[in-house]
Amino acid sequence: MLNVAIIGAGRIGRLHAENLCYRIPQTQVVGIADVQISAAEETAARLNIPFTTADYRELLAKPNVDVVVICSATDTHTEIIIESAKAGKQIFCEKPIDLSLSKIDAALEAVDKAGVKMQIGFNRRFDPNFRRVRTAIERGEMGTPHRLHIISRDPAPPPLSYVKVSGGMFVDMTIHDFDMARYLIGSEVEEIYTLAGVMVDPAIGAAGDVDSALVTLKFANGVIGSIDNSRQAVYGYDQRVEVFGSGGKIETDNNYPNAAHISTAQNVYRDLPLNFFLERYSESYVSEILSFVDALEHDKPVSVGGIDGRQAVVMGMAARKSYLEHRPVRLDEI
């Protein structure tokens, strides 16, 4: 039984807490921290978590805590990582690690030095659809990949207050797609070219960000990739991938709440796809933790490491630079 402490009781912290309590038999949650103590207390009460605190350091000080799950605000991640590593805790950290590469590097170094494991929360790698794509590539079901196309559209933009501190769409939203691109193709991206604009909400533009983008990727192995982002797909969460290769192609569809189709005198319709990530990716959040637990139990490498977390941030920076400078940008410029 692994004893887990959760740092951050916001939406994603609560989600992990619930999964750790109810869905993952090998773990128990021994404490939860949040700077807003009431948030920690509310979750603790609901899930029978025996300890709450406003100061995560109290959790790190507990010798019976084996694992910390870091779900706090992005700008606190690296500090907590470093302290957790020093305390010898195993670390699961939400994405992005940080928006500063130097801070990320410091965190990765601390983890390395402490000899603990750290998994980054790129949960989409564990989604059954995308996992199936990766399996198909590994098996060569479509031959050698030539093209990757990722569609990743949110149902609605986040609050403007969030947009302003998010670091921009490329490191906040596209970051998942950058990781997906690397995961699926199994090769590094060398160059990025970005077309982007403000099409959803002028206020997002006024805040210095974009809300719509087409990001093209040139992989080291020759694959050409593209990522299609929008902050607002009115029909719901649009999360699809197509990989085309010498032997065929694989396409994934969205997930739907049911498999019913209705034909009337007007048209043939079905209900909208699952609306957002809590529904669409619910299983992947369980699976990523199971994978982490498996790495801890059998002392295996984690499935998504710190370097993966770093690389996705680099790609986000390159995408933004390409957009601002209106030219292809090589990742080694970052």
Element (H, E) at 307: helix 306-325
Pick 64 or 267: Cβ nearer a copy of itself: 267
Contact status: 186 vs a copy of itself (CB under 8 A): no
Site residues for a copy of itself, window 4-23 (CB under 8 A)? Answer: 22-23
What length does the chain have?
A: 334
- Give the binding range for a copy of itself (CB under 8 A) out of 57-65, 123-131, 284-292, 306-314: 123-131
Pair of tokens at residue 154: 């949110």
Based on the shown chain and the rule CB under 8 A, indicate whether residue 1 belongs to the binding site for a copy of itself.
no
Note if the bond before 155 is cis, omega within 30 degrees.
no
Phi, psi angle pair for 147, to nearest 5°: -135, 145
CA distance 223 to 243: 10
Binding flag, residue 128, a copy of itself (CB under 8 A):
yes
Helix (H), strand (E) at residue 5: strand 2-7
- Within a 10 A sphere around the Cβ of 208, how many other Cβ atoms? 9
Q: Rule CB under 8 A: say whether 326 interacts with a copy of itself.
A: yes
Stretch that binds a copy of itself, among 57-65, 98-106, 157-165, 238-246 (CB under 8 A): 238-246
Q: Which stretch, 32-40, 77-85, 164-172, 190-198, contacts a copy of itself (CB under 8 A)? A: 190-198
Could you say whether residue 330 binds a copy of itself (CB under 8 A)?
no
Nearest one of 24, 22, 23 to 294, comparing CA atoms: 24
Count CB-CB contacts under 10 A for residue 307.
11
Residue 144 CA: distances (Å) to CA of 129, 131, 214, 218 = 19, 17, 24, 15
Of the candidate residues 10, 238, 276, 290, the single one contacting a copy of itself (CB under 8 A): 238
Q: Examine residue 290 and tell whether it contacts a copy of itself (CB under 8 A).
A: no
**What part of residues 66-105 is at the interface with a copy of itself (CB under 8 A)?**
none
Residue 212 makes contact with a copy of itself by CB under 8 A: yes
Q: Return the residue of 78, 90, 119, 255 that touches a copy of itself, per CB under 8 A.
A: 255
Q: How far is the CB of 81 from a copy of itself (least distance, A)?
A: 30
